Structures are given as C-alpha cells and as structure tokens.
Amino acid sequence: MKVKIFSAFLFFMLFAAAVCLGLEGEEVKNPLAVAPGEIFEFDPVLDGDQVTHNFVIQNKGDAELRIERVQTG
C-alpha cells in the first residue's frame, strides 16, 4: 500500500517538474483590450429617435483579441 502511494506521489512530482521546466522558456501571450473613450454621453433626443455611436476597441496585447457576447445596457 505504501509503495503505491509513494509511486503515485513520485509520478505526480515528476510530472509537475516536467510541466514547469517545459514552460520556462516560453513567453506567455495575452490580449489587452483598450477603449480610449469608455463612456459616451448622448445629447438629449426625442423618445423613439435612434442614436448610434462607434466605440473603438484596440488590442494592445500580443495575442488575438476576441470580443464575444456583447450586450447593450
């Protein structure tokens, strides 16, 4: 019983060391979303009028930026 537990522990430690050593030389890449104008105030409009505004989102990171599930408020 103790041999099995020790073997499992040893396997886990070797696996963890292999993963850590494998990631050491790799650079982590992440997207970074930047919205220069995060807030926009519309001028007063009549009820029922349609207003629009384009928000510019810039990716300042070094990986692909994916914008999903956008909801209006």
**pLDDT interval class at 10 (50, 70, 90):** low
Say if residues 34 and 61 touch (Cβ distance below 8 Å). no
Distances (CA, A) of 58 to 38, 47, 65, 71: 12, 33, 9, 19
Asked whether residue 12 carries a pLDDT value surpassing 90, the answer given is no
Look over the chain and give the mean of its residue pLDDT values, rounded to a whole number: 79
Helix (H, G, I), strand (E, B) or coil at 15: helix
Asked whether residue 9 carries a pLDDT value surpassing 70, the answer given is no
